Structure 1
Amino acid sequence: MRKQLNEMTKNAALEQQEVLRVSRMLDEEINNYYRLLARTQ
């Protein structure tokens, strides 16, 4: 049981890291888009 919990915790942590990574990527894309938009105004 403990081993299973450890595995689940590890997987959850990895998923959380992935979510953060994608979130930062999206933030960057959005910032790039707005910068581009500001340049064309």
Structure 2
Amino acid sequence: MNRIRFFRRQANLTQEELGKTIGTYTMKVHRYETGRIKVPRE
């Protein structure tokens, strides 16, 4: 399981809730979780 998905589920958050928290779109969270795009290292 992807680490982002693992920790999101541990925090009991939906992709939409996580997206709002980090200031991005739900689809981008999905793409991070599936590995379609890499998380920027900021």
TM interval, short-chain normalised: under 0.3
Q: Which has the larger radius of gyration?
A: 1
Q: Pick the structure with more helix per residue.
A: 1
Task: State the TM-score, normalized to the length of structure 1.
Answer: 0.22
